Structure formats: C-alpha cells, structure tokens
Structure 1
Amino acid sequence: MRTYAIAAALLAAAGTPAVAGGVSSDIDAAGYFDIATFTVKADKAGDFEAIMKQVVIDTRAEPGNIDYRLHKVSDRPLTYVTYEVFKDKAAADAHNASEHIRRIVPPLLETLDGEIKVIVMEAVR
C-alpha cells in the first residue's frame, strides 16, 4: 500500500494533468513506468543533485521518454526518487544503454550510500 501512495504522490507532485478516468493521454499510452530510490551520502547530496538534474534534461530529450522527474523525500533529506515513464520497454532499455547514462554511472555511484532500489510498474487498463 505504501508503494501505491508514493506513486500517487509523485504523479500529483509532477503536476500530471488529470482527465476523466485517468491521467494525461501520453501517460495512458505509455507502456513502461518505474520508480527508483536513491540514498546519498550526506557530503555528496550536492554532487548527486547536479548529476541527476543533467540526467533529467538528457532523458527528457530521448525520443521514447514521456516523463522523467526527480524528487527529494520530504522527511528523509538524503533520499531521492525518480519517476520514469517511457513509451515502452524498448525505450527504457535504450535509455539505460544511452551514452549519457553510461557516462554518469561512475560519479553517481560515488554519491550513493547503498543500492538503487527500482520498482517497475505496468499500467492497469
């Protein structure tokens, strides 16, 4: 239940426009969603945010990306969450294999305090 509440809160925070029976048609048409959670080292939060802000810009430019958001958890200031929406799994795979993602992995890993936790979701239609 908590995972659902987090996903709903992320959609609301992202400003996703509501329509009768669901959210925007782009998201309704999407086939791949995930939420990734990152816990960062206290002295590396600024580095993490700088890296991830660029990831947001680069990812939103990808042809198969519908939405990509970065959030900080309000009551856990060293925990961040990305909400990712792609056209389909192939678009998500292309994102994960992209040059900009391969380039940021080494410096990103230096900022983390633990593993990245990913929840992959599919729309219920």
Structure 2
Amino acid sequence: MGDGFALVVRFALRDQTAATAFDALCAETLEGITRHEPGTLAYVTHTPVGEPLVRVFYELYEDRAAFEAHEAQPHTQRFLAEREPYLAGVDVTFLDVGVGKPAR
C-alpha cells in the first residue's frame, strides 16, 4: 500500500450527553477533512457494538506529511481544543501500513 501513515484512536466518553456532543463535533470536523485534505485517504469513526460511550477512529493518510497537514488544519485544531470536556480517556495506536485493498 505504499508509504501510508495510519492510526487508530479509541475515545472513552463521559456520558450520553457528552457522546452526542462529541458526535456533532466529529461531523463538523469531517466536513473540513472532506473539503480540505486530499492526503487523508480514510477517516472513519465507529461505535463498537455494546459500547455506546466509546468511539474508535481509523485514519489513513498518504504519508506522514499528509498527517501533519491534517493536524495543522483549523478544523482539526478546533476538534482537539473542544473535545476535552467530553472525554473520559483517549488511546492512540500508530500503525505500520501493511497489505490490503486501497481506499481509492
């Protein structure tokens, strides 16, 4: 799959009110990602079955530079600043990109 750069982030949310607000913030952030980040190949949020207060993000970038460009975007900076009140915990796992079916 090339020089891709990927990560998985697991967010634990404080309660259902926080989860609802967090989901709205994610939707707003995704609009900016879709419009302004050609190097972001996949940015998908998931709710694990049976864990309504957990969100798992899978993020795949063309390369490390595309990830750094994502982190510098105003919509990402807003997400990072505004997410904290909703969170009970965060776990980030960086991944070596292996074989698979490309997103494009």
Query: What's the TM-score once normalised by structure 1's chain length?
Result: 0.71
1:29 is displaced (CA, Å) by 3.8
Matched, 1:39 2:12: yes
Q: Deviations over 1:33-67 (max 9, x none)?
A: 11101011113111000001122222233021111
Paired residues in the alignment total 97
3-state SS of paired residue (2:94): strand
**Separation in 2, partners of 1:119, 1:81:** 11
**Separation in 2, partners of 1:60, 1:84:** 13
Partner residue in 1 for 2:102: none
**Separation in 1, partners of 2:48, 2:3:** 25
Partner residue in 2 for 1:90: 65
Moved more, 39-48 or 99-108: 99-108
Normalized per residue, the structure richer in strand is: 2
Matched, 1:65 2:40: yes
Partner residue in 2 for 1:122: 96
Q: Computing the radius of gyration over CA atoms, which structure comes out larger, 1 or 2?
A: 1
Runs of 4+ in 1 over 6 A off after TM superposition: none
Task: Indicate conservation of the 8 Å contact 1:30/1:66, yes or no.
Answer: no
| Gap regions ≥5 residues in structure 2 | 100-104
**Separation in 2, partners of 1:30, 1:55:** 25
1:30 is displaced (CA, Å) by 5.3
* Percent identical: 27
Q: Deviations over 1:2-26 (max 9, x none)?
A: xxxxxxxxxxxxxxxxxxxxxxxxx
Partner residue in 2 for 1:4: none
Partner residue in 2 for 1:99: 74
**Separation in 2, partners of 1:77, 1:90:** 33
Q: Which amino acid aligns with 2:7?
A: D
Task: Indicate conservation of the 8 Å contact 1:60/1:67, yes or no.
Answer: no
How big is the alpha-carbon RMSD for the aligned residues of Structure 1 and Structure 2? 1.5
Relative contact order, CA 8 A, sep 6+: which one is greater?
Answer: 2
Q: Which amino acid aligns with 2:40?
A: N
